[in-house]
Structure 1
Amino acid sequence: MSATVRIKNIQIGGGNRIAVQSMTNTDTLDTHATADQLKRLQLAGCDIARIAVSSEAEVNACAAYIGKFDMPLVADIQFDYRLAVKCAEIGFDKIRFNPGNIGDESKVKYTVDACKAHGTPIRIGVNTGSLEKEFSGMSKSDALVASALKHVRLLEKFGFYDIVISVKSSDVKTTVDAYRQLAAKTDYALHIGVTESGADERGVVRSAIGIGALLIDGIGDTVRVSLSGDPVKEVAAARLILQEAGLDKDYCEIISCPTCSRCKYDLKSAVDELKAATKDIKKRVKIAVMGCVVNGPGEASDADFGVAGGASGKAALFERGKVIGTIDVADIVPTLLKMINDKIADDGNN
């Protein structure tokens, strides 16, 4: 089990719930646009939000965001250690930087001392694009791990242990190999993700393969799905990955079959309507919408309840795989919604 790190009002590592992260892509100096995006991220379920800070003017702008959101805010620093120091001083909840980009050890120590003084954790973020030349003879995954551990030892040299590590690549296999190695060599909390994964479906699939493989291995304490475009979509994708990995069970899960010629009703429309009606439910409920009774109730026997289409506009209604009645296909959605609401009410009273 990884070590616990407190970031403002949440704890990561140590068996705590896996936190979802994202990053603003507005102009940091545009306080209206950035604050609005941070609000949208928080409403979408983002647990930790990162902001790029590249100048003293941007540090000053960030003072407008500190303390205004329930979710912790992380300063993303590249190259200038003085900005990291100032970000710790104004109250950022965590600093992310690559010590290899900061400069000599004295500058790293200066940064570490500031973070110590203000109780600010540090994420060591190593990407394949920022690897030192000394690791050029290694495979990319080996080099990522070697670089990260080198920087960990440097922070430990200065008596700093409030550390989170990430080792990312845009290549899924490199990313997974690196994190598996790292998890075997350290118990520091790990932030996982596939960097520069792209946009839309391909970016989500690439991230889901890499992040999902690690989560199923029990690796990862925070996650980010890195997508080009609106970062709110990153949060939605991350939540889905956590749900499908079995690590977030507080939602209404809908399973449905791919259908074949035996399906005699508009299954897809029923699923879409149910998804829209249950999207805000934060309780564990599993329902099944199946095309026919050939194997519907059996395949979905672990669902709380569900339906399987039949002939003449009828559908079998079942609970835990046992058929309990027959309803008109026109009543599928209202019947299931009532059963969902009744279950949630019953669970709340028990």
Structure 2
Amino acid sequence: MQRRKTRPIQIGEVTVGGNAPISVQSMTNTRTDNVQATVEQIKQLLTAGCDIVRVAVPDINAAEAISSIKSLVDVPLIADIHFDYRLALTAMERGVNGLRLNPGNMGDHEHVTAVVKEAKKRQIPIRIGVNAGSISKELLAKHGGHPTPEAMVESALSHIRILEKHNFNDIKISLKAHDVPLTIRAYQLMSETVDYPLHLGITEAGTIRSGVIKSAVGIGALLAQGIGDTLRVSLTGDPVEEVRVANEILKSLGLRQYGPTLVSCPTCGRCQINLVDIAEMVDDKLKSFKNPITVAVMGCVVNGPGEAKEADVGIAGGKGEGLLFRKGEIIRKVPESELVTALFAEIDKLDKEVNE
């Protein structure tokens, strides 16, 4: 698919926009001034495949903690700030790589000027983030009293113009709503209006069960149109799951290779092994592997190796036993109780081959 052309910005060592790969972001849910807890969670996010991490900066203690966090992890860090320009200045002084703030919410012109001057000096990009619930009353009234794609774009543009008047163009934009069609149309409109990189997401998507579906549909639809340069899957719960889902979305569209891909059949009346438990066990154990291999867990020895012949390695069930195969070629029969062990012994071999 052909991606929409955007101007690149630099967030630490990660390029966003231009021809750069689409990056995955997440946000810690620890208290930022609890440095130990925040660093531990960031390390978990990095292990899961996160490229950029955002932290909440609600007060001066959080802003001042950024330097300590930066000294302990090697990842671009974005400070999420609302209203108080002094927190933005402190975060930049402490080494943050990006800001998430809306200049129109910062009050005095002098406050905006001070933040932009420091961001320019340190080459720190700013993300303009508009949510459907944050549109001003005036704009809502203008657009019929409720959030519309046009109102969201107009709201974002009002903040963008403030930065542009200060000759500041290291900008990326997000336009999020929990309503998927609203979000999709807002991003489409914005992509037709400016060439700034776009940060994709469905905000307040919900728990893993509903949030994964809404995020996959919304973010996936935009990516399939070539729209989007970086993304976050917003889920209620452990942010590590956000990263895993984001990578799966990118992998499903052929936009990223990261970690194993599991192929497993939906089961049918021919299945004579406990395929559900086996597939879940394999899926869980694969989380510790990083190489982009394809692993198949199939329920039927009749079709399994054939249907999954493109998989690097896999198993196909029979009655109390199964077949272990690589690239569709059968290696041997294995008792059902030993299938997972045999599979991962073969995965370990393959992993070593890939690394050599």
TM-score (norm: length of structure 2): 0.87
Deviations along 1:139-178, one digit per CA (max 9) or x if unpaired, are: 5211111222232232122111111111111111111111
Q: Does 1:90 align with 2:97?
A: no
Contact preservation (8 Å) 2:305, 2:316? yes
CA distance in structure 1 between the partners assigned to 2:107 and 2:335 by the alignment: 67
Equivalent residue of 1:51, what SS? strand
- The alpha-carbon distance between structure 1 residues 304 and 122, as it changes in their structure 2 partners (threshold 3 A), is same
Contact preservation (8 Å) 1:193, 1:226? yes
Q: Equivalent of 2:294, from 278, 286, 293? A: 286
Contact preservation (8 Å) 1:100, 1:132? no
Amino acid at match of 1:149: L
Amino acid at match of 1:127: N
- The alpha-carbon distance between structure 1 residues 325 and 66, as it changes in their structure 2 partners (threshold 3 A), is closer
Q: Residue in 1 aligned with 2:192?
A: 184
- The alpha-carbon distance between structure 1 residues 294 and 183, as it changes in their structure 2 partners (threshold 3 A), is farther
Equivalent residue of 1:174, what SS? helix
Query: Which structure 2 residues correspond to residues 270-349 of structure 1 after superposition, within 5 A?
Result: 270-310=278-318, 313-316=320-323, 318-321=325-328, 324=330, 327-330=333-336, 331-349=338-356
Equivalent residue of 2:65, what SS? helix
Q: Residue in 2 aligned with 1:69?
A: 73
CA distance in structure 1 between the partners assigned to 2:296 and 2:33 by the alignment: 48
Q: CA deviation at 1:199?
A: 2.1
Equivalent residue of 2:68, what SS? coil
Deviations along 1:234-268, one digit per CA (max 9) or x if unpaired, are: 22332333333332323222211111121122222
Amino acid at match of 2:343: L
Q: Does 1:133 align with 2:137?
A: yes
CA distance in structure 2 between the partners assigned to 1:70 and 1:78 by the alignment: 25
Equivalent residue of 1:302, what SS? coil
Q: CA deviation at 1:335?
A: 4.1
Amino acid at match of 2:299: G
Identity %: 45
TM-score (norm: length of structure 1): 0.88
Moved more, 24-33 or 119-128: 24-33
CA distance in structure 2 between the partners assigned to 1:333 and 1:230 by the alignment: 27
Query: Which structure 2 residues correspond to residues 147-226 of structure 1 after superposition, within 5 A?
Result: 147-226=155-234
Contact preservation (8 Å) 1:314, 1:326? no
Q: CA deviation at 1:318?
A: 4.8
Contact preservation (8 Å) 2:66, 2:95? no
CA distance in structure 2 between the partners assigned to 1:78 and 1:291 by the alignment: 52
Amino acid at match of 1:268: V
Q: Does 1:7 align with 2:11?
A: yes
> Unmatched 5+ residue regions in structure 2?
none
- The alpha-carbon distance between structure 1 residues 58 and 262, as it changes in their structure 2 partners (threshold 3 A), is closer
Q: CA deviation at 1:129?
A: 1.9
Contact preservation (8 Å) 1:265, 1:329? no
Runs of at least 4 residues of structure 1 off by over 6 A? none
Moved more, 213-222 or 58-67: 58-67
Q: Residue in 1 aligned with 2:103?
A: 99
Q: CA deviation at 1:293?
A: 4.5
Moved more, 43-52 or 257-266: 43-52
Moved more, 173-182 or 18-27: 18-27
CA distance in structure 1 between the partners assigned to 2:295 and 2:234 by the alignment: 31
> Unmatched 5+ residue regions in structure 1?
none
- The alpha-carbon distance between structure 1 residues 172 and 158, as it changes in their structure 2 partners (threshold 3 A), is same
Amino acid at match of 2:155: S
Amino acid at match of 2:96: F
